[in-house]
Amino acid sequence: AISSVYHADNANYFILESQHTLPQFAEKIHLKPAEIQEKFFHLLEFIVFQLNFVPCKELISLSILLKGQNSISCSIICMQTLINILKHNTIFKDVYREVGILEVFVTRLQRYSALMKEKQQTVDQVSEISIGENEEKLGMMVIEALTCLLNSNTNNANLFRESG
């Protein structure tokens, strides 16, 4: 329903922005079915791609969502949206640093690294622990996003060094 309101007229998003509709919805998106999650993330892409707007409050909400690690599948959809936005315009390299997404990516990378080390130790001990396919996919997406963020951006590279 909210998507049709935003798509009906480009001004509607800006009229409703002060109500913090999307950031509030982002807090609970991991509890919704996958179809609803996908529509929500496509709506965020619409705001960036069609309205040419930098939705800082929404991006902060996504960083909190990723940090909370409530749902791997929701985090994957979220990461894909963040990667799509990042590739859309290089200004988002700075935006992601300013809203804290870069630091959340570093934290996610550290978690992925710990999982991989644990997996390697269990392989060495001939024990069976497997890292889930979705966890692997999420980790690779974080690496892709960080590669894009750090490429030709000294400020991001410096923050990455300080954070990790």
Q: Say yes or no to pLDDT of 130 above 90.
A: no
Would you place residue 54 in the very low, low, confident or very high pLDDT band (cuts 50, 70, 90)? very high
What values do phi and psi take at 66, rounded to 5? -65, -40
Q: Say yes or no to pLDDT of 126 above 80.
A: no
Residue in the structure block whose two tokens are 């509890």? 31
Torsion sign across C-alpha atoms 101, 102, 106, 112: positive
pLDDT digits (tens, 9 = 90+) for 81-113: 999 999 999 999 999 999 999 999 999 999 999
Is residue 53 within 8 Å of 47, Cβ to Cβ? yes
Q: Of 63-77, 112-126, 142-156, which range is least confident?
A: 112-126
Within 2-132, residue ranges assigned H as helices are 2-8, 10-16, 21-28, 34-49, 56-68, 72-88, 91-99, 101-124
